[in-house]
Amino acid sequence: MAERRAADEPRRIVRCPGCGGDSVYALTNPYRPFCSERCRLADLGAWASEGYRVDASPSDDDPSGDEDEAASGAA
């Protein structure tokens, strides 16, 4: 029955986040949203090598913040 659902599912074409080419966003594409295993692995490698980062400043609750501030507050 799952095979029938996959066949009945509309084929939606999206932009591959890796190469920018067309990619089928459906259950029939095991690499979705990527177009191929190559694009999927390239993206995984970028995450693993910290190629993608989220900029953030330390919050007041962050224990890894500047230790000088903690020392001056304790004195």
Distance in angstroms (rounded) separating the CA atoms of residues 66 and 62: 9
Which residue has 């913040």 as its token pair? Answer: 65
Residue 1: per-residue pLDDT: 46
Is the model's pLDDT at 51 over the cut of 50?
yes
- Secondary structure string (H, E, C) spanning 13-59: EEECCCCCCEEEECCCCCCCCCCCHHHHHHHHHHHHCCCCCCCCCCC
pLDDT at 31 over 90: yes
CA–CA distances in Å: residue 24 to residues 2, 6, 42, 44: 18, 12, 18, 19
Average pLDDT, the chain: 80
Q: Is the pLDDT of residue 12 over 80?
A: yes
Q: Which residue has the higher pLDDT, 18 or 50?
A: 18
Bigger pLDDT: 65 or 25?
Answer: 25
